[in-house]
Amino acid sequence: MTTRTWRLGAFLLLALALAACGGKPLTREKPVASASTLAFARNLEATPAGREVAMYALGLIGVGYRYGGKNPQAGLDCSGMVSHIYRQAAQYALSGSAADMAKKGRAVRPEQIRPGDLLFFNTLNRPRSHVAVYIGDLRFVHAPSSNGAVRIDSLEDRYYKSRFEEARSYFD
């Protein structure tokens, strides 16, 4: 691990800890009237395994994208990233394509998503063609091919909000 990666990881962990301490009290958001808009959770507490998954995902930001990639040294695609994170951070074997992963775990309503849960999107005109790790506050870590690197995006982004299909949890 390079010094730069270690510093970035330490900074992100500190930011997460400070955000958790200074966050607003948990309130339920009311669904917006528009049928195309979903009410997502913002500040539900993660399970211990979910917290480990979210923190590990943050450590992969900037890792290069590679179709079919399953490890950070060679590059990651979305399902390879999720498989790697779950194996390393939670000792949970989760493999296959994004669509395969969506068949496992339990469905979670958008207002009940917690850090570490997986989000599934239709980005290639086929169901569950993209997967991401939810990290809280409507943000997720994923490996999109468009940027060429693992990054953070928001569920408030019109592109992802319109393509969101479901969330699944793999931890109690």
Q: What is the pLDDT along the chain (172 residues), one digit of tens a residue?
A: 454 444 445 444 434 333 333 333 333 333 332 224 467 766 788 999 999 999 999 999 999 999 999 999 999 999 999 999 999 999 999 999 999 999 999 999 999 999 999 999 999 999 999 999 999 999 999 999 877 899 999 999 999 999 999 999 998 7
C-alpha span between 63 and 142 (Å, rounded)? 10
Tokens of 101: 């992963």
Beta pairing, strands 118-121 & 164-169: antiparallel
DSSP-derived letter for residue 2 is: -
Tokens of 117: 């849960």
Q: Which of 130, 131, 134, 168 is catalytic?
A: 130
pTM for this entry: 0.78
Q: Which residues touch 36 (CB under 8 Å, ≥6 apart)?
A: 161, 162
Is position 78 annotated as part of the catalytic site? yes
Tokens of 100: 């395969």
Domains and CATH numbers, the chain: 43-169 (3.90.1720.10)
C-alpha span between 167 and 106 (Å, rounded)? 8
Q: Which of 142, 160, 169, 170 is catalytic?
A: 142
Tokens of 144: 């999109």
Is position 84 annotated as part of the catalytic site? no
Residue 39 contacts residue 110 (beta carbons within 8 Å): yes
Give the other-Cβ count within 10 Å of 126's Cβ: 10
Q: Which of 16, 54, 78, 143 is catalytic?
A: 78
C-alpha span between 137 and 113 (Å, rounded)? 10
Is position 21 annotated as part of the catalytic site? no
* Residue found under tokens 């592109």: 159
